[in-house]
C-alpha cells in the first residue's frame, strides 16, 4: 500500500507588524546579504525606500539583534562619517535539523553565509522525536538569540507504520523547543540547493541530484527554472524483473530495494555492482530526456559506487546524442541537508524564496 508523501510544508507566520513592514524588512535584509555591509544611506539607495522607513526598519533589526552597527565609513565629502551595518553572524542563524536518517538525526545552527556555527548529533539510542527535541534544546542553549527560523530536511516518503507521521512529530517537537513553527522540506531538494550554492563547481551547468538513503529521490536543478523540478521519488519504480532484494515498499526489483541493499553491503559485495547498474540505467532515461551533463549522488555513497553508476549510464546512453557525456560524482558539500535547510528558511525569511 502506498502512503501519502510526507512532505508537509509549514511556513512561519510573520512575528509582528504589517505585510508592508515585513516586505520593507526583507528588502533591507536582502541588500545587506548581497552587500555584506552598508550604511543607512546605501540601503535607501539600494532599496528605493525613504530614509525614515530605512531608519525604522534598521532600528527594528538592531533591537531584534539580527544586525549590528559595525565600523564607521569616512566619506570623501564633508560631514559625519556613516555608520555601517552588517548581519550579526552570531544572531542571524537558522536552526536546521536533518532527519534523513531517523536513527542519526543531526542539527546545526547555520549562519547567513552557510557556515555552521554549532553542530550536534542526536543520540542514536533515543526515540527519534525525543532525540530531535534534545538536540534542538542543546543547540538553542548555545545561542543568546532566538534563531531567525527553523528548517527540517526529511525523506520523501514513509513506508513503515512507525515512520508514518514521524516527521510531523519531530517538526512539532523542534518547533516547540524553538517557539516558532518549523518548515519541512524534502531532503533531496535541500541537498540540491546546497549543491548549487556551496559546491566547488556551483556555477557549472544543470544537474540531476539523486538523494539516496531512507528513500531514493531525484531533483533536477537547472539555470532555466522551467527545466527544474522539485524532488520526486524515484525509489519504487521497478527496474528489473530479477527478484532482487526485498524493499521496504513490499515489492522487489525496485530502484530503492537495490540501492538500499548496496548501501548496506560491503565494498566487495556483488550486489553493489548490480545495484549501480540498475540505478545507472534508471537515471539514464531522465538524463537523456533532459540532456543533463551532471549527476550528483548525495547520501551514503562512495566514489566507487558513483563510478559504477556512471559506467552503466555511459553504456545505456551511448547512442543517445547527449551534448556531452554525463559525469556522475558524489556530492562534495558537507552537511548538505542542514545547509540547504538553512538557505531555504533564510530565503523565506528574507522574502526571496
Between 236 and 272, CB nearer to Zn ion? 236
Least Cβ distance, residue 160 to Zn ion (angstroms)? 12
C-alpha–C-alpha distance, residues 46 and 92, integer Å = 21
Between 108 and 282, CB nearer to Zn ion? 282
Between 247 and 328, CB nearer to Zn ion? 247
Q: How many angstroms separate the first and last alpha carbons of the chain?
A: 34
Q: Which residue stretch of 38-46, 148-156, 215-223, 228-236 sits at the interface with Zn ion (rule: CB under 5 A)?
A: 228-236
Q: Which residue stretch of 7-15, 243-251, 292-300, 316-324 sits at the interface with Zn ion (rule: CB under 5 A)?
A: 243-251
Scanning residues 169 to 208, which ones bind Zn ion (CB under 5 A)? Answer: none
Between 4 and 63, CB nearer to Zn ion? 4
25 belongs to the binding site for Zn ion (CB under 5 A): no
3-state secondary structure the chain: CCCCCCCCCCCCCCCCCCHHHHHHHHHHHHHHHHHCCEEHHHHHHHHCCCHHHHHHHHHHHHHHCCEEEEEEECCCCCCCCEEEEEECCCCCEEEEEECCCCCCCEEEEEECCCCEEEEEECCCCCCHHHHHHHHHHHHHCCCCCCCCEEEEEECCCCCCCCCCCHHHHHHHHHHHHHCCCEEEEEHHHHHHHHHHHHCCCCCCCCEEEEEECCCEEEEEECCCHHHCEEEEECCCCECCCCCCCECCCCCECEHHHHHHHHHCCCCCCHHHHHHHHHHHHHHHHHHHHHCCCEEEEECCCCHHHHHHHHHHHHHHCCCCCCCCCCEEEECCCCCHHHHHHHHHHHHHHCCCC
Least Cβ distance, residue 255 to Zn ion (angstroms)? 7
Between 229 and 240, CB nearer to Zn ion? 240
Q: Which residue stretch of 22-30, 108-116, 205-213, 246-254 sits at the interface with Zn ion (rule: CB under 5 A)?
A: 246-254
Q: Which residue stretch of 8-16, 26-34, 239-247, 278-286 sits at the interface with Zn ion (rule: CB under 5 A)?
A: 239-247
Between 215 and 336, CB nearer to Zn ion? 215
Least Cβ distance, residue 257 to Zn ion (angstroms)? 5
Residue span 252-291 as binding mask against Zn ion, x where in contact by CB under 5 A, dash where not: --x-xx----------------------------------
C-alpha–C-alpha distance, residues 151 and 96, integer Å = 5
Q: Which residue stretch of 42-50, 144-152, 250-258, 315-323 sits at the interface with Zn ion (rule: CB under 5 A)?
A: 250-258
Least Cβ distance, residue 243 to Zn ion (angstroms)? 13
Between 7 and 214, CB nearer to Zn ion? 214
Query: In the set 6, 134, 185, 236, which binds Zn ion (CB under 5 A)?
Result: 236
C-alpha–C-alpha distance, residues 4 and 237, integer Å = 16
Residue span 61-100 as binding mask against Zn ion, x where in contact by CB under 5 A, dash where not: ----------------------------------------
Interface size with Zn ion, residues (CB under 5 A): 6
Least Cβ distance, residue 235 to Zn ion (angstroms)? 6
Query: In the set 27, 215, 249, 261, which binds Zn ion (CB under 5 A)?
Result: 249
Residue span 297-316 as binding mask against Zn ion, x where in contact by CB under 5 A, dash where not: --------------------
Nearest CA among 214, 305, 215, 307 for reference residue 265: 305
List contacts with Zn ion (CB under 5 A).
236, 247, 249, 254, 256-257
Amino acid at each position: 500500500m502506498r502512503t501519502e508523501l510526507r512532505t508537509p510544508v509549514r511556513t512561519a507566520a510573520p512575528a509582528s507588524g504589517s505585510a508592508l513592514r515585513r516586505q520593507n524588512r526583507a528588502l533591507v535584509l536582502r541588500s545587506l546579504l548581497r552587500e555584506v555591509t552598508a550604511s543607512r544611506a546605501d540601503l535607501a539607495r539600494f532599496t528605493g525606500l525613504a530614509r525614515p522607513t530605512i531608519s525604522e526598519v534598521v532600528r527594528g533589526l538592531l533591537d531584534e539583534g539580527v544586525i549590528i552597527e559595525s565600523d564607521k565609513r569616512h566619506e570623501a565629502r564633508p560631514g559625519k562619517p556613516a555608520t555601517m551595518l552588517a548581519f550579526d553572524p552570531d544572531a542571524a542563524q537558522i536552526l536546521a535539523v536533518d532527519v534523513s536518517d531517523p536513527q542519526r538525526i543531526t542539527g546545526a545552527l547555520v549562519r547567513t553565509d552557510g557556515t555552521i556555527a554549532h553542530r550536534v548529533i542526536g543520540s542514536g539510542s533515543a526515540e527519534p522525536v525525543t532525540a530531535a527535541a534534545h538536540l534542538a534544546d542543546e543547540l538553542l542553549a548555545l545561542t543568546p538569540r532566538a534563531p531567525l527560523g527553523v528548517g527540517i530536511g526529511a525523506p520523501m516518503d514513509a513506508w513503515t507504520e512507525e515512520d508514518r507521521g514521524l516527521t510531523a512529530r519531530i517538526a512539532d517537537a523542534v518547533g516547540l523547543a524553538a517557539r516558532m513553527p518549523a518548515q519541512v522540506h524534502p531532503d533531496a531538494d535541500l541537498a540540491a540547493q546546497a549543491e548549487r550554492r556551496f559546491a566547488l563547481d556551483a556555477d557549472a551547468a544543470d544537474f540531476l541530484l539523486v538523494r539516496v538513503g531512507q528513500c531514493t529521490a531525484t531533483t533536477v536543478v537547472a539555470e532555466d527554472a522551467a527545466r527544474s523540478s522539485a524532488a520526486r521519488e524515484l525509489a519504487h519504480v521497478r527496474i528489473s524483473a530479477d527478484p532482487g532484494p526485498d524493499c521496504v515498499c513490499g515489492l522487489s526489483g525496485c530502484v530503492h530495494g537495490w540501492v538500499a541493499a548496496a548501501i548496506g553491503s560491503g565494498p566487495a559485495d556483488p550486489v553493489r555492482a548490480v545495484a549501480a547498474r540498475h540505478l545507472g540505467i534508471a537515471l539514464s532515461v531522465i538524463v537523456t530526456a533532459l540532456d543533463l551533463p551532471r549527476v550528483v549522488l548525495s547520501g551514503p555513497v562512495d566514489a566507487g559506487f558513483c563510478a559504477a553508476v556512471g559506467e552503466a549510464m555511459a553504456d545505456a546512453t551511448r547512442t543517445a546524442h547527449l551534448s556531452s557525456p554525463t559525469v556522475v560524482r558524489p556530492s562534495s558539500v558537507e552537511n548538505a541537508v542542514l545547509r540547504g535547510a538553512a538557505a531555504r528558511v533564510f530565503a523565506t525569511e528574507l522574502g526571496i524564496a
